[in-house]
Amino acid sequence: MIRWTRCRPGAGVGISMRIGALAVTLAFMLALAPGCTNPPPPGGATTPSAAPLGSVTGSYVRPPAHSRVIVFVNGIFGDGTGTWTNGTTGKYWPSLLAADPDFADVDVYVHSFVSPHLSNAQQILELAGRMKDLLETDGVIRSHTELVFLCHSMGGLVTRAFLLNARLPASKTPMIYFFATPTAGANVAGIVAHLSANPQLVDMKPLDDGGYVKNLREQWLLTSNEPALDYPNKIASYCAYELKDTWAFRVVPEVSATYLCNHETRGVLGDHLEIVKPADERADQYRFFKAAYERQFSPEAAPIRNALAMRTLSPLTVSRREMALGRFKTATVVLKQVKATTRSIEVGCDAEQKGRLEAKVDLAPGETVSEVKADIANATNLKSSSAAVVRASSGTATVSYTLRGRDRVLTNCPGGGRADVVVNFVVTKEPRTVRPGIDVPVRRVSPARPTRELVIQTPARSARVRLARTPEPPNR
């Protein structure tokens, strides 16, 4: 037997039924419906309600006053309120962030779109166009020099489609944090599609089935050919994935949630709904975002940005190269460049070569990868080329590349093209803690010589004189 989650009036009703494919699917759909929360805890305690959002389309949590803004984007079957509200504590993530002194110099905006579970809805591409219009009319794009996105589920796909549609330069969007975004497709989309007329589910079919997510991924990777965009390399993409099933399904598996992420990934001990509902500011998902934000924008992050700017100082002719680049807080920053190719990739005239490679960096104790970027090196006779990090984790990066040979003019062609793929790992090395007696021998120091204190009396003053060593009187 299973029980439906408790929803606000109009979102669902409480019933019980036997577990089966139909029941699980409907349960999943209603669980994601706007306004639904977790089941009430034992004892009949009620679930606190969230403060209502000012608009179903989007609004600022506080009046805008800064050059950078964090934009929340909900996912499928969600909205700008229920998606981010914890069902037990009633805490609303955008409000938590706005009240955090560490985010006092940034604006907070919540974008919301309608995603019904039992009726037609706008497709992802249509939602992206709508998002562009709303962010423009609300002054979000015009009034801020930097936009940081915090996305849940399908909201991450909408955000990528919005950027591709708006053609915003990568410098305008320096960071996106994706929570359970099905970049390679969702597990249950095909199952739920049998019972829902919502076309957004069809858009999220797995990559192997083709469909919109595959097309979106290809468009995202193609921007690496445009220096002003180059989204796969220039936008810091952080990802988190769910560690629990929603009912009987892992809605977005790790491999899909971490696809196209070029920074570290984190697992959240929650299901597809809980992953964006922090109980308070000490919850894992809140801290994961905050830590990533600080690594991206704190003044101490400058050496990491400099490291990537220095990556093309000279061609990489050996398989590995390291450069020391200063310090990040207390850690030393090192740029480790690794060839992903054992030999150069070749491409003929009027031809195209596409593929994937893996590169791994050797990490010593105390070393952590802070940033990963892919590059094309030692290129010859190419019309165009691109490389982008598809996935990065624990010192290993998967890179997608495309090489295009030069055009053949009549029968002439300057010869076959070739290039190498290089992966740049920015590594921070924490200072080593020296353990006396283990890392270094303990140096024994002999005790200081005893001293005596004599009091010298004079008519004008008295003084205490410290003598180095006073011989003991002889024994009588």
Structure tokens at 118: 């039992």
Supply the pLDDT for residue 159. 97
Residue 136 has pLDDT above 70, yes or no: yes
Mean pLDDT of 416-432: 86
Query: Nearest-CA neighbor of 216 among 159, 135, 131?
Result: 159
Structure tokens at 381: 């006779």
Supply the pLDDT for residue 205. 55
Supply the pLDDT for residue 60. 94
Global pTM value: 0.72
Residue 277 has pLDDT above 70, yes or no: yes
Mean pLDDT of 464-472: 45
Residue 335 has pLDDT above 80, yes or no: yes
Supply the pLDDT for residue 48. 34
Buried b (16+ CB within 10 A) or exposed e, 212-227: bbbebbeebbbbbeee
Mean pLDDT of 225-244: 89
Mean pLDDT of 22-51: 41
pLDDT tens string 82-120: 999 999 999 999 999 999 999 999 999 999 986 555 455
More confident residue, 412 or 371: 371
Give me the residue label for tokens 């975004």: 181
Supply the pLDDT for residue 52. 44
Mean pLDDT of 163-181: 95
Supply the pLDDT for residue 371. 83
Band of the pLDDT at 201, cuts 50, 70, 90? Answer: low
Residue 68 has pLDDT above 90, yes or no: yes
Give me the residue label for tokens 């010298």: 456
Report the chain's mean pLDDT, rounded to a whole number: 76
Supply the pLDDT for residue 21. 43
Mean pLDDT of 294-321: 78
Band of the pLDDT at 451, cuts 50, 70, 90? Answer: very low
Supply the pLDDT for residue 187. 62
Provide the residue type at 40 as one letter: P
More confident residue, 44 or 181: 181
Residue 351 has pLDDT above 50, yes or no: yes
Supply the pLDDT for residue 126. 87
Provide the residue type at 193 as one letter: A
Residue 51 has pLDDT above 60, yes or no: no
Task: Work out whether strand 236-242 and strand 175-179 pair parallel, antiparallel, or are unpaired.
Answer: parallel
Supply the pLDDT for residue 459. 44
Supply the pLDDT for residue 411. 66
Tell me the three-class secondary structure of the chain, residue by residue: CEECCCCCCCCCCCCEECCCHHHHHHHHHHHCCCCCCCCCCCCCCCCCCCCCCCCCCEEECCCCCCCEEEEEECCCCCCCCHHHECCCCCCEHHHHHHHCHHHCCCEEEEECCCCCCCCCCCCHHHHHHHHHHHHHHCCCCCCCCEEEEEEECHHHHHHHHHHHHHCCCHHHCCEEEEECCCCCCCCCHHHHHCCCCCCHHHHCCCHHHCCHHHHHHHHHHHHHHCCCCCHHHHCEEEEEEECCCECCECCCCHHHHCCCCCCCEEEECCCCCHHHCCCCCCCHHHHHHHHHHHHHHCHHHHHHHHHHHCCCCCCCCCCEEEEEEEEECCEEEEEEEEECCCCCEEECCCCEEEEEEEEECCCCCCEEEEEEEEEEEEEECEEEEEEEEEEEECCEEEEEEEEEECCCECCECCCCEEEEEEEEEEEEECCCCCCECCCECCCCCCCCCCCEEEEEECCCCEEEEEECCCCCCCCC
pLDDT tens string 352-393: 898 999 999 999 888 888 888 888 889 888 888 888 888 888
Band of the pLDDT at 49, cuts 50, 70, 90? Answer: very low
Mean pLDDT of 328-355: 88
Structure tokens at 133: 């219009």
Supply the pLDDT for residue 476. 43
Mean pLDDT of 384-406: 86
Band of the pLDDT at 434, cuts 50, 70, 90? Answer: low
Supply the pLDDT for residue 54. 41
Number of other CB atoms surrounding residue 20 within 10 Å = 10
More confident residue, 225 or 328: 225
Supply the pLDDT for residue 173. 96
Supply the pLDDT for residue 188. 56
Supply the pLDDT for residue 165. 93
Mean pLDDT of 446-473: 45
Mean pLDDT of 58-73: 94
Distance CA 29, CA 49 (A): 21
Band of the pLDDT at 121, cuts 50, 70, 90? Answer: low
Supply the pLDDT for residue 387. 86
Mean pLDDT of 269-273: 92
Contact 159, 231 (CB under 8 A): no
Band of the pLDDT at 203, cuts 50, 70, 90? Answer: low
